Amino acid sequence: MNYGVVIKILGNLLTVEALLMIPSLLVSLYYNQYDKKAFLISIFITSILGFIMGKKEETKENIKAKEGLAIVAFGWILASFFGSLPFVLSGSIPSWIDSFFETVSGFTTTGATIVDNVEALPMGILFWRSFTHWIGGMGILVFTIAILPTLGVGGFQIFKVESPGPMPDRIVPKVKDTAKILYTTYFIMTILEIILLLFGGMPLYDAAVHTFGTVGTGGFSIKAASVGAYDSTYIHIIIGIFMILSGVNFSLYYFLFQGKWKEVFKNEELRLYFGIIFSSVILIALNINSEIYKNIGLALRDAFFQVGSIITTTGYATTDFDKWPTFSKSILFLLMFVGGCAGSTGGGLKNIRILVLFKLVKREFSKILHPRAVIPIKTNGEILSNETVVSIASFFVLYIFIFVLGTVFVSLEGVDLVSSSSAVASALGNIGPGFGFVGPIRTFSGFNPINKLVLSLFMLLGRLELFTILALFLPKTWRNEIF
């Protein structure tokens, strides 16, 4: 393990995080809020430590897999720890465990909150709370790669570990250029949504913070009733559309820009993603219309929004879907596991894994009839290696195992099965609201401190695709042999 390069890059990360707190400080100063001192102290502490760590001498070696794992895992933990300082120092969330939970939820774009009266928080804190979604959506370290030239060719190890999905790859040969392309797309989507929300009559501040939660698929709102506080079909539809667009693999937007339309529309993961959304919206709309709404237009609108919110793991709400019929809630619960596409800001298992698992099951059925047949698994016309297929199957098994284990652990607090299972599914899938005790009009404040830390761990596990965090517990990771 090259500890020098790990410490140096983590220092760079903290320096970048300190800079990213400045917009929230400016918001606090503009509105003359009491949290400005907390931001000044947080920026000072984070930048000084980042500067000291960034001066660490490192050996002239490329970043290998070990270093990539350590940098990404500890980078997210450190960013969450120092990102919680404004909450604690301002007194907005006095408990460090609660502040850490809220910050992890922000950076991992989960959107689960422990704040019972969100509208009482100062505007700078609310801005930072939502801005963590935007920072974490594309990846804290991907952003660092995009703006710092110090990572070199080894930066791909970081990019590979932090990027969501089983098969991360460069859009262009250089990792730094790939990161810049991704963030350019991210910026464009952000600006476009803010403009469209302004056209809908939403104030600039509200439009910005809700856009951060939308394109980052996070879900923190500045309203207790979430997006439902805005009684506007236009606003609901705009946010719904951008949630779904943010669940698409961002590299496909680059291909669209290059004019590779055929390659995009033939993408199997994208077609599965839209197919699941369309089917779920129709089924839920018909169900809630027959039992509750009696207005197919409103039923379609709310079904579209909530399906988009859950499958992209954003977590915004326009209605209390916990009061919907069991059939509709069952579909939403299943969508918590599906998630967005690989290479998007969405969480969950990812559609590409679901697609490969379906093909794997189909192949096993075919082998019953043709035992000697060699049937490769293909996606988008390319044959997947057995290593990739095994990796996807292993990820699925581990994901379900952690979900079951987590549900049992959380239920020890006396929480009912629906609430405990949806809380764990929400944390692991980076979704936000669940059902029952953690429904869309409830918060996670009722959990004890241990469960809040456990759920924080699950949020990190989900965002970093399980293995990155779990690998830290392997002694082999810290030895000097090749990982």
Conformation bin of residue 454: beta by default, left when phi > 0, alpha when psi is -120 to 50: alpha
Taking CA atoms, 288 is separated from 101, 235, 243, 467, in Å, by: 34, 21, 22, 39
Check the annotation: does 314 bind a ligand. Answer: yes
3-state secondary structure 416-480: CHHHHHHHHHHHHCCCCCCCHHHCCCCCCCCCCHHHHHHHHHHHHHHHCCCHHHHHHHCHHHHCC
Whether 443 and 113 have beta carbons less than 8 Å apart is answered as yes
* CA–CA gap between residue 394 and residue 74 (Å, rounded): 24
Check the annotation: does 313 bind a ligand. Answer: yes
Q: Nearest Cα to 132, choosing from 108, 100, 106, 113?
A: 106
* CA–CA gap between residue 53 and residue 14 (Å, rounded): 9
- Enumerate residues 6+ apart whose C-beta is below 8 A from 37: 89, 90
- At which residue do the structure tokens 């009266």 appear? 117
Binding residues for K(+), as ranges, are 109-110, 218, 313-314, 430
Which residue ranges make up the annotated binding site? 109-110, 218, 313-314, 430
